[in-house]
Structure 1
Amino acid sequence: MPKVATQASVSLDGFIAGPENGGFEYLFAWCRAGDVEVPTASGRSYKVAEASADYVRDMIEGYGALVVGRNQFDGMDGWGGQHPMRVQVFVVTHSVPEGWAPESDEFVFVTEGGVKAAIDQAKAVAGDKNVGVGPGIVAREALDEGLLDEVRLDLVPYMLGDGVRFVDTLGSAPRKFGEPRVIQGKKVTHLIYPVETNE
């Protein structure tokens, strides 16, 4: 059954980006730390340890649509017009960015209904594949609204000291998760947590 999952590379102190939106050389060092090449739809490849290869393949092949926030979209400069996973991306925003169509094969700007509306639209497009939810505000809102099935953390052996947190000011805290599936890679530990219902 398809899942709605959020996923991010996270430092030991909980950051998905360091000060001044940096630190990515540490957060994503694991993507270049091995000998197994895993190609993406964009033509680029991961070079990961054997232990991470199936996890990365599942990530690349398993998502049928993505939901991200405007901060992530702007921070990545709209991925140059096409996300590297080559799936439709639903951007939760108050307004359509200048120079962009409200809807295209690559991006849909969801200006009404918030995260729930974006996830509902993404599910319709994804079919029997998973929906990926970007970290940060969008992930927090999805958790608060009970819309996530899974949290996937790529925990890296670095501390960044400051920056952008994976999730901040969670309204539904404390939040309960099931036992994680753990995959030990090189320069990363992949943790896959099922989200449990708060009682």
Structure 2
Amino acid sequence: MGKVLSHMTMSLDGFIAQPDDSIGELFEWYEAGDVAVDNPNETVRFAVDDASATVLRDLTENVGALIAGRRLFDIADGWGDKHPAGSPVVVVTHQPPADAAERWPTTTFVDGVAAAVERAKAIAGDKDVTIASANVTQQALALGLLDEVCVSLVPVLFGEGIPYFSVLGGGHQLLEDPAVVQGRRALHLRYPVRR
């Protein structure tokens, strides 16, 4: 069975987006090299350095399902039903879009984080489940459902915005020492969650 991990690109001061949900310079590392990393979404192109290519391939090729919150899903317009990770998407929402079945036939909508993780694991089989939303990550961590926190830390300070982590239910959460990969325009960190 695969792991349940989260991955977000984050500013040095802890933000995954600006207050208006725009990403600013966060995704520069996706275009900071000359190594192409293929993905099924023809509207997305990755050209990264060698080290980042290894990280990106590991984060996408081993994913059997991806979990997103409704806010991110709406911002990305459901990735046109082709997430760049190449896996089915499970969206946490209390109210799916009315036209969900027609517009996003490979996307599953569920109510609640625990249900989303359970459904994503069933879809993923032996592959990993990746959570790509900050709020969903925080809830999964509080529920003890997260195995690893992955961060692509980029050299920009936002000063304000949407944090990767904010108030954690249950207080401090210790993580193990990270695996570290230095890429161009991003430092990639993978922290196993201490049980």
TM-score range, shorter chain: over 0.9
Correspondence for 2:8: 8
Letter in 2 for 1:57: R
Identity of aligned residues (%): 44
| Matching residue of 1:172 | 170
Q: Are positions 1:138 and 2:136 aligned together? A: yes
| Residue 39 (structure 2) pairs with residue 37 (structure 1) | no
1:121 counterpart SS class: helix
Paired residues of 2:3 and 2:148 also in contact (CA < 8 A): yes
Match of 1:127 in 2: 125
1:46-195 matches, cutoff 5 A: 46-101=46-101, 105-111=105-111, 114-195=112-193
Equivalent pairs, count: 194
Per-residue deviation, residues 72-105 of structure 1 (Å, max 9, x unmatched): 1111122223323332111111111122129964
CA contact (8 A) 1:183 1:190 kept: yes
Partners of 1:73 and 1:67 lie apart in 2 by: 10
Give 1:52 shift.
Answer: 1.1
Normalised to the residue count of structure 2, the TM-score between the two structures is 0.93
Distance 1:62 1:82 in 2: 16
Q: Whole-Å Cα distance in 2 between the matches of residues 103 and 42 of structure 1?
A: 15
Q: Secondary structure at the match of 1:109?
A: strand
State whether residues 152 and 190 of structure 1, in contact with CA within 8 Å, keep that contact through their aligned partners in structure 2. Answer: yes
| In structure 1, C-alpha distance between the alignment counterparts of 2:91 and 2:30, rounded to whole Å | 25
Matching residue's letter, 1:67: I
Bigger Cα displacement from structure 2, 159-168 vs 81-90: 81-90
2:26 aligns to what? 27
Moved more, 92-101 or 39-48: 39-48
* Runs of 4+ in structure 1 over 3 Å off: 102-105
Judged with a 3 Å threshold, the aligned counterparts in structure 2 of structure 1 residues 68 and 102 are, in CA distance, closer, same or farther, namely farther
Post-superposition shift, 1:169?
Answer: 1.5
The one-letter code of the counterpart of 2:35 is V
Q: How far is the alpha carbon of 1:161 from its aligned partner?
A: 1.3
Deviation readout 1:157-195 (Å, 9 max, x if unpaired) = 001111111122111320000010000000100000000
Alpha-carbon distance between aligned partners in 2 of 1:103 and 1:38, rounded to the nearest angstrom: 26
Instruction: Give the structure-1-normalised TM-score.
Output: 0.92
C-alpha separation between the residues in 1 aligned to 2:46 and 2:102? 32
Measure the CA separation in 1 of the matches of 2:113 and 2:83.
Answer: 19
Q: CA deviation at 1:37?
A: 1.2
Range with bigger deviation, 33-42 or 182-191: 33-42
Q: Tell me the C-alpha RMSD between the 2 structures.
A: 1.7
